[in-house]
Amino acid sequence: MIITSIAFAALFLILAIVFIMGKGDMLIAGYNTADEEDKKKYDIKRLRIIMAVISVITAGFIAILPVFGDNKDAQLGSGAVFILIVIVFAILANTWAKNK
């Protein structure tokens, strides 16, 4: 389980680097299939930052999962916190990353 967690955490860290380098636009769900008119509604640089940060947070979350072992309460609590973080970043993607 530890090796799997490290591999997935590394994958998300690589994704964060790809977003920061400005190369991962096609990996952003919804943005890659939007037409040009809809794409103009978003500041892609800010959207990339949001995606990079959530990728780093996801990598960290995956990396600490083996620490919890079989402690279901810790797993549930950390999962709830992670879901709240994802919700906050979804809101940021639809507010802060929109062109005004």
Give the position of tokens 């636009």. Answer: 25
Instruction: Answer yes or no: is 30 within a domain.
Output: yes
Count of domains in the chain? Answer: 1
Domain hosting 91: range is: 2-95
In sequence order, what DSSP letters do the residues of the chain get, joined into one string?
-HHHHHHHHHHHHHHHHHHHTT--GGGSTTTTTS-HHHHTTB-HHHHHHHHHHHHHHHHHHHHHHHHHTT-HHHHHHHHHHHHHHHHHHHHHHHHTTB--
pTM of the model: 0.88
Q: What tokens does 67 get?
A: 């620490």
Instruction: Answer yes or no: is 11 within a domain.
Output: yes
Instruction: Answer yes or no: is 54 within a domain.
Output: yes
Instruction: Answer yes or no: is 19 within a domain.
Output: yes
Instruction: Answer yes or no: is 56 within a domain.
Output: yes
Instruction: Answer yes or no: is 100 within a domain.
Output: no
What's residue 21's pLDDT? 96
Low-confidence ranges of the chain (pLDDT < 50): none
